[in-house]
């Protein structure tokens, strides 16, 4: 992420980031985020709608259908955690070009979220550093405003994300190209295990992406 203070970020860049965040969520909901491969998010987020996006914040609403209910007829705890995970990541995209990978996710359940109602998810960015981002989210009953769950989410940023690469490029990737970018993601995770310096890791990851981009240009 650029070291430029948020107050100095050009308005167009902010608008582009909020649009990217919106498309990220919509792509997960309709199953188009990763070509023709259905994901868990696609299953868990059916019916979710983006109602507001701003720098550092995104608000969504979703019906608590039977698909995401537990045996008591309320929102399943795992579904609530998925909402915290996914929507806070979308909020991060309004402040950072990287969606990163999760290193910590915690959810506090305060009250049952009844099935048949709509849950409102309000996610915000609390801090974006060089390597880590801190995020938070609140889940409320739309009908009453009651707070039903809160979540905190920490993400490691120095990882190439194939979904974001596809959306930023504004074009579809074939399976071979998508797999190439996924390799970069896996290699970045492996490098973290080897404890390489952030500078060396970023350089190696950038070189891999540049090589992938050159290969794509040669095929056009």
- Those residues whose C-beta lies under 8 Å from the C-beta of residue 144, and which sit 6 or more positions away, are none
Residue 201 reports pLDDT greater than 60: no
Rounded Cα–Cα distance for residues 122 and 165 (Å):
25
Q: Which CATH class is domain 6-156?
A: alpha beta
Which comes out higher in pLDDT, residue 6 or 150? Answer: 150
Q: What is the DSSP string of 31-46?
A: T-TTTT---HHHHHTT
Q: How confident is the model at residue 160 (pLDDT cuts 50, 70, 90)?
A: low
Q: How much is the pLDDT for 89? A: 96
Summarised one tens digit per residue, pLDDT across range 10-65 is 545 556 888 889 998 998 898 776 556 667 888 899 999 999 999 999 999 999 99
- Those residues whose C-beta lies under 8 Å from the C-beta of residue 219, and which sit 6 or more positions away, are none
pTM: predicted TM-score of the whole model, two decimal places: 0.68
Question: Considering only 10-14, 27-31, 124-128, 132-136, which range has the smallest mean pLDDT?
Answer: 10-14
Q: How much is the pLDDT for 83? A: 98
For residues 115-124, give the mean pLDDT. 98
Give the alpha-carbon dihedral of 156, 87, 128, 23, to 10 degrees: 100
CATH 3.10.129.10 domain position(s) in the chain: 6-156
Residue 110 reports pLDDT greater than 70: yes
From the centroid of its chain, how far is CA 101? Answer: 9
Q: How much is the pLDDT for 36? A: 60
Structure tokens at 93: 């995209």
């Amino acid at each position: 992420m650029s070291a430029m203070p948020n107050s100095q970020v050009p308005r167009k860049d902010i608008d582009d980031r909020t649009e990217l965040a919106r498309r990220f969520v919509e792509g997960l909901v309709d199953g188009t985020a990763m070509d023709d491969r259905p994901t868990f998010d696609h299953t868990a987020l059916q019916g979710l709608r983006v109602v507001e996006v701003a720098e550092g914040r995104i608000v969504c609403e979703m019906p608590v259908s039977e698909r995401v209910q537990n045996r008591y007829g309320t929102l399943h705890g795992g579904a609530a955690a998925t909402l915290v995970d996914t929507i806070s990541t979308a909020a991060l995209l309004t402040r950072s070009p990287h969606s990163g990978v999760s290193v910590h996710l915690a959810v506090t359940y305060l009250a049952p979220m009844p099935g048949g109602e709509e849950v409102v998810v309000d996610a915000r960015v609390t801090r974006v550093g060089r390597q880590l981002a801190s995020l938070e989210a609140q889940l409320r009953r739309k009908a009453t405003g009651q707070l039903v769950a809160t979540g905190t989410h920490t993400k490691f940023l120095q990882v190439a994300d194939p979904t974001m690469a596809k959306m930023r490029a504004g074009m579809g990737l074939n399976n071979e190209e998508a797999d190439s970018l996924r390799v970069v993601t896996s290699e970045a995770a492996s490098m973290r295990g080897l404890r390489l310096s952030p500078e060396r890791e970023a350089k190696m990851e950038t070189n891999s992406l540049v090589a992938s981009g050159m290969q794509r240009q040669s095929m056009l």
